[in-house]
Structure 1
Amino acid sequence: MAKSSDLAKTWFSARGWKPFAFQKQLWAAVKNGESGLLHASTGAGKTYAVWFAALNRFAKCAAVVETPRKRKPPAEPLTVLWITPMRALAADTARALQSPVDDLRLPWSIGLRTGDTSSSERARQSRRLPTTLITTPESLTLLLARADARTALSTLRMIVVDEWHELLGNKRGVQLQLALARLRHWQPELIVWGISATLGNQSHAEQVLIPQGGGVCVQGQSEKSLTVDTLLPTAIERFPWAGHIGLKMLPQVVAELDACASSLVFTNTRAQSEIWYQALLEARPDWAGLIALHHSSLSRETRDWVEHALKEGQLKAVVCTSSLDLGVDFLPVERVLQIGSAKGVARLMQRAGRSGHAPGRTSRVTLVPTHSLELIEAAAARDAVEQRRIEPRQSPHKPLDVLVQHLVSMALGGGFVPDELYEEVRGAWAYRDLTPADWAWALAFVRHGGMSLTAYPDYRRVEPDEHGVWRVPDARLARRHRMSIGTIVS
Structure 2
Amino acid sequence: MLEADKRGKSALLIAPTGAGKTLAGFLPSIADLAEQPFDGMHTLYISPLKALAVDVARNLMDPISEMGLSIKVETRTGDTPSSRRQRQRFHPPNILMTTPEQLALMLSHKEAPKLFGTLKRVVLDELHALALSKRGDLLALGLARMGTLCPDLKISALSATVAKPEMLRDWIGTPKPEREVAFVTNTGGADPEVEILASDDRVPWAGHTAQYAVPELLEIIKKNGTTLLFVNTRSQAELLFQSLWELNEDGLAIALHHGSLDVEQRRKVEAAMVAGKLQAVVCTSTLDLGIDWGDVDLVVQIGAPKGSSRLLQRIGRSNHRLDEPSRALLVPANRFEVLECEAAKEAVKERAQDSEDPQDGGLDVLAQHVLGMACSAPFNAVELYEEVIRAWPYRELEWEQFERVVDFVATGGYALKAYERFARLRKTEDDTWRIVHPKIAQQYRMNVGTIVEEPMLKVRLVRARGQRRGATTGPIGRGGRVLGEIEEYFISQLSHGDTFIFGGEIVAFEAMKDNEAYVSRAVAKNPKIPSYMGGKFPLSTYLAERVRKSLATPTLWQQLPNQVSDWLRLQRDFSTLPGTDSLLVETFPKADKYFMVCYPFEGRLAHQTLGMLLTKRLERDRAKPLGFVASEYALAIWCATDIGAQFKRGRLSLDELLDEDMLGDDLENWLDESSLMRRTFRNCAIISGLIERRYPGQEKSGRQITMSSDLIYNVLYEHEPDHILVQATRRDASRGLLDIERLGACLKRIRRHIIHRDLERISPLAVPVMLEIGKVPIFGEGRESVLAEAAEDLLREASGN
Fold agreement, TM-score > 0.5:
yes
Task: State the partner residue of 1:103.
Answer: 66
1:191-218 Cα distance to aligned partner (Å, 9 max, x none): 1010000001111111112122621110
In 1: Cα distance, 2:361 partner to 2:26 partner:
32
Aligned length: 450
In 1: Cα distance, 2:129 partner to 2:367 partner:
23
Task: State the partner residue of 2:209.
Answer: 245
1:146 aligned to which of 90, 109, 123: 109
Q: Show structure 1 runs of 5+ residues with no match.
A: 1-25, 64-74
In 1: Cα distance, 2:194 partner to 2:187 partner:
22
Task: State the partner residue of 1:181.
Answer: 144
Task: State the partner residue of 2:364.
Answer: 401
Task: State the partner residue of 1:204.
Answer: 167
1:59 aligned to which of 23, 33, 40: 33
In 1: Cα distance, 2:142 partner to 2:330 partner:
38
2:191 aligned to which of 218, 222, 225: 225
Q: CA deviation at 1:411?
A: 0.4
Instruction: Work out whether 1:32 is the aligned partner of 2:33.
Output: no
* TM-score normalised by L of structure 2: 0.55
2:246 aligned to which of 278, 282, 294: 282
Are the counterparts in 2 of residues 335 and 365 from structure 1 also a CA contact under 8 Å? yes
Task: State the partner residue of 1:269.
Answer: 233
1:351-406 Cα distance to aligned partner (Å, 9 max, x none): 11111001211101111111110000000000111111101344331311111110
SS at match of 1:286: coil
SS at match of 2:114: helix
Q: CA RMSD in A?
A: 1.6
Q: CA deviation at 1:221?
A: 4.3
In 2: Cα distance, 1:62 partner to 1:444 partner:
47
In 1: Cα distance, 2:305 partner to 2:348 partner:
12
1:131-189 Cα distance to aligned partner (Å, 9 max, x none): 11100001000000001211111110100000011001111111111111111122243
Task: State the partner residue of 2:303.
Answer: 340
Change (3 A) 1:421 1:361: same
Q: CA deviation at 1:62?
A: 5.4
In 2: Cα distance, 1:359 partner to 1:321 partner:
24
Q: CA deviation at 1:439?
A: 1.0
Are the counterparts in 1 of residues 11 and 183 from structure 2 also a CA contact under 8 Å? yes
Task: State the partner residue of 1:43.
Answer: 18
Amino acid at match of 1:281: W
Amino acid at match of 1:369: P
Are the counterparts in 2 of residues 174 and 395 from structure 1 also a CA contact under 8 Å? no
Are the counterparts in 2 of residues 201 and 393 from structure 1 also a CA contact under 8 Å? no
In 2: Cα distance, 1:363 partner to 1:93 partner:
20
Are the counterparts in 1 of residues 231 and 284 from structure 2 also a CA contact under 8 Å? yes
Q: CA deviation at 1:280?
A: 0.5
In 2: Cα distance, 1:459 partner to 1:410 partner:
17
In 2: Cα distance, 1:39 partner to 1:102 partner:
27
Q: CA deviation at 1:341?
A: 1.8
Q: CA deviation at 1:83?
A: 0.4
Task: State the partner residue of 1:83.
Answer: 46
Q: CA deviation at 1:60?
A: 4.5
Amino acid at match of 2:236: Q
Are the counterparts in 2 of residues 310 and 332 from structure 1 also a CA contact under 8 Å? no
Task: State the partner residue of 2:131.
Answer: 168
My pick for the range that moved more, 446-455 or 276-285, is 446-455
Are the counterparts in 2 of residues 352 and 363 from structure 1 also a CA contact under 8 Å? yes
Task: State the partner residue of 2:97.
Answer: 134
SS at match of 1:168: coil
- The equivalences for 1:444-483 within 5 A come to 444-483=407-446
Are the counterparts in 2 of residues 263 and 316 from structure 1 also a CA contact under 8 Å? yes
Are the counterparts in 2 of residues 168 and 394 from structure 1 also a CA contact under 8 Å? no
Amino acid at match of 1:129: P
Task: State the partner residue of 2:384.
Answer: 421
2:219 aligned to which of 234, 237, 255: 255
Amino acid at match of 1:332: D
Task: State the partner residue of 1:70.
Answer: none
Q: CA deviation at 1:455?
A: 3.2
Are the counterparts in 2 of residues 337 and 368 from structure 1 also a CA contact under 8 Å? yes
Instruction: Work out whether 1:327 is the aligned partner of 2:290.
Output: yes
Q: CA deviation at 1:30?
A: 1.1
Percent of matched pairs sharing the same residue: 39
1:93-148 Cα distance to aligned partner (Å, 9 max, x none): 10111122212222211111111101121122123111111000010000000012
In 2: Cα distance, 1:265 partner to 1:165 partner:
23
SS at match of 1:287: coil
Q: CA deviation at 1:459?
A: 2.0
SS at match of 1:59: helix
Amino acid at match of 2:337: E
1:14-70 Cα distance to aligned partner (Å, 9 max, x none): xxxxxxxxxxxx1111122210200000111111111112122x214356xxxxxxx
Amino acid at match of 1:367: L
In 1: Cα distance, 2:336 partner to 2:143 partner:
43
Instruction: Work out whether 1:410 is the aligned partner of 2:376.
Output: no
Task: State the partner residue of 1:22.
Answer: none
In 2: Cα distance, 1:375 partner to 1:181 partner:
45
My pick for the range that moved more, 313-322 or 218-227, is 218-227
In 1: Cα distance, 2:421 partner to 2:373 partner:
18
My pick for the range that moved more, 136-145 or 475-484, is 475-484
Are the counterparts in 1 of residues 118 and 150 from structure 2 also a CA contact under 8 Å? no
* TM-score normalised by L of structure 1: 0.89
Amino acid at match of 1:377: E
Change (3 A) 1:120 1:488: closer
In 2: Cα distance, 1:265 partner to 1:433 partner:
42
1:256-288 Cα distance to aligned partner (Å, 9 max, x none): 111111100011111111111111010113325
My pick for the range that moved more, 324-333 or 479-488, is 479-488
In 1: Cα distance, 2:251 partner to 2:300 partner:
17
My pick for the range that moved more, 386-395 or 433-442, is 386-395
Are the counterparts in 1 of residues 312 and 348 from structure 2 also a CA contact under 8 Å? yes
In 1: Cα distance, 2:36 partner to 2:46 partner:
28
Are the counterparts in 2 of residues 330 and 357 from structure 1 also a CA contact under 8 Å? yes
SS at match of 2:80: coil
Amino acid at match of 2:4: A
Amino acid at match of 2:221: L
Instruction: Work out whether 1:369 is the aligned partner of 2:343.
Output: no
* Rg larger for: 2
Amino acid at match of 1:254: L
SS at match of 2:117: coil
SS at match of 2:281: strand
In 2: Cα distance, 1:186 partner to 1:61 partner:
24
SS at match of 2:330: strand
Change (3 A) 1:224 1:207: farther
Amino acid at match of 1:345: S
Amino acid at match of 1:163: E
Amino acid at match of 1:440: E
Instruction: Work out whether 1:352 is the aligned partner of 2:318.
Output: no
Amino acid at match of 1:217: F
Task: State the partner residue of 1:291.
Answer: 254
Are the counterparts in 2 of residues 229 and 365 from structure 1 also a CA contact under 8 Å? yes
Amino acid at match of 1:61: E
1:199-245 Cα distance to aligned partner (Å, 9 max, x none): 01111111112122621110014144211111133244xx3222241
Q: CA deviation at 1:468?
A: 2.4
